[in-house]
């Protein structure tokens, strides 16, 4: 089954433990508009459009997936993801994450961040659980934009907590610099991140960040244990400071 949530959860599961960051990138964007083409096993599965807006100390991120072809018939996972919260000296501090089928429908999955009480409330349909909230935790959408706020040297070896609304986990990534790839906005020199798998059957996850575009993701890859290959490649990107 083509699972957009796996793509966002695994690939975009990439941010640092924010509380450990001594300083931030000097000029993160105030507005980002991005569009990606999605592929499953090399076949087009749709387009993903995303927007990031920071207004003072608040931020909002919205990601919408529009499936095409056969994907429009079989895709049953949430297609609209939203993350809201604050922008602080450590970067993004999520307050609420939601995943739903459309803007008009109620969330199927959500996460509520209570930083004062250090608690994370996870809701998956009728199931609710509360877990401890580690410093620096991101949701699977906010992680994509947290890179803009981090010093480049902190991106070389990553370990961080992240939630997809269903569970909270820790992730480790190794980085390789100056990896060139072709994208819809040209050939780019990227920082290539590879998830370190704890077990042989773990999902393969890779992400390519563009230093010339404030370390935003320009390509994503997930290979699931059943050998389903999911890719997401940037087609357009607008950044405003």
Across 21-25, 225-229, 237-241, the highest mean pLDDT is recorded for 237-241
pLDDT digits (tens, 9 = 90+) for 89-123: 889 999 999 998 777 788 889 999 999 999 999 99
Q: With a cut of 90, say whether residue 28 has pLDDT above it.
A: no
Secondary structure of the chain in HEC code, one letter for each residue = CCCHHHHHHHHCCCCCCHHHCCCCCCCCCCEEEEEEEEEECCEEEEEEEEEEEEECCEEEEEEEEEECCCHHHHCCCCCEEEEEEEEECCEEEEEEEEEECCCCCCCCEEEEEECCCCEEEEEECCEEEEEECCCCCEECCCHHHHHHHCCHHHHCEEEEEEECCCCEEEEEEEEEEEEEEEECCEEEEEEEEEECCCCCCCCEEEEEEEHHHCCEEEEEEEECCCCCEEEEEEEEEEEEC
User: 113: which 2 tokens?
Assistant: 């961040």
pLDDT digits (tens, 9 = 90+) for 190-227: 999 998 877 666 788 899 999 999 999 999 998 886 67
pTM attached to this predicted model: 0.83
User: 93: which 2 tokens?
Assistant: 């501090």
Bridge partners (DSSP) of residue 169 are 162
Is 79:67 a contact under the CB 8 Å cutoff? Answer: yes
Across 14-23, 78-87, 225-234, the highest mean pLDDT is recorded for 78-87
Residue 200: the pLDDT is 67
Q: With a cut of 60, say whether residue 2 has pLDDT above it.
A: no
Domains of the chain plus CATH, in order, are 4-240 (2.40.360)
Q: With a cut of 70, say whether residue 45 has pLDDT above it.
A: yes
Q: What percent of the chain has pLDDT over 90?
A: 58
């Amino acid at each position: 089954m083509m699972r957009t949530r796996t793509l966002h959860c695994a690939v975009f599961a990439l941010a640092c433990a924010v509380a450990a960051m001594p300083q931030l990138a000097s000029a993160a964007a105030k507005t980002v508009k991005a569009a990606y083409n999605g592929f499953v096993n090399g076949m087009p599965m749709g387009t993903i459009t995303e927007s990031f807006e920071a207004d003072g100390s608040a931020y909002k991120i919205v990601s919408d997936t529009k499936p095409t072809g056969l994907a429009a018939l079989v895709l049953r996972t949430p297609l609209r993801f939203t993350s809201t919260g604050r922008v602080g000296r450590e970067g993004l501090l999520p307050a609420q994450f939601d995943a739903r089928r459309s803007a008009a429908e109620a969330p199927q999955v959500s996460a509520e961040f209570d930083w004062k009480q250090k608690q994370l409330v996870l809701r998956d349909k009728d199931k609710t659980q509360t877990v401890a909230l580690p410093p620096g935790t991101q949701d699977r959408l906010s992680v994509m934009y947290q890179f803009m706020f981090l010093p480049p040297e902190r991106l070389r070896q990553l370990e961080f907590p992240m939630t997809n609304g269903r569970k909270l986990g820790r992730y480790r990534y190794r980085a390789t610099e100056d990896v060139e790839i072709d994208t819809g906005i040209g050939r780019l020199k990227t920082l290539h991140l590879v998830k370190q798998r704890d077990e042989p059957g773990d999902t393969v996850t890779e992400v390519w960040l563009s230093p010339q575009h404030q370390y935003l993701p320009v390509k994503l890859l997930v290979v699931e244990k059943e050998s389903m290959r999911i890719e997401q490649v940037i087609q357009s990107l607008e950044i405003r400071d």
